[in-house]
Amino acid sequence: MDGSLREPSNIRVASIVKRRGHRESFDERKLYASIYGATEAAFCDEASCELLAGKITEEIKDWIKGKKSVDSAEIRERVIAELEKKNPEIAFFYDRHLPNLRKL
């Protein structure tokens, strides 16, 4: 496997609880895109972006399997922890992504 995103799977998660309290279905494409964007912001090449985004997306999918609901903040924290292990600079870019610019 090259790490790129596969076809969306049917993960049995009832919902993702978003920051403002609303719920939506898990969309692995959104997760992949946000990780890819952070990797790209760290000036990684396309193959590295795809590999890391694909690997962490799969790890998160495995973690949420079978859960009825997951808070989006939990997913975010989990992604940051995984990125920290692999590349702290990318973790920084992910953590400072657009919704969190008010923290800067």
Helix axes 46-64, 72-86, angle to 10 degrees: 130
Count of CB atoms situated within 10 Å of the CB of 84: 15
Res. 19 pLDDT band, cuts 50 70 90: confident
Q: To the nearest whole number, what is the mean pLDDT of the chain?
A: 84
List the structure tokens of 35.
Answer: 């990780």
pLDDT at 17 exceeding the cut of 80: yes
Please write the tens of the pLDDT for every residue from 27-67.
999 999 999 999 998 889 999 999 999 999 999 999 998 88
DSSP string covering 3-37, please?
S---SPP-----EEE-TTS-EE---HHHHHHHHHH
Domain parsing of the chain, residue ranges: 50-99
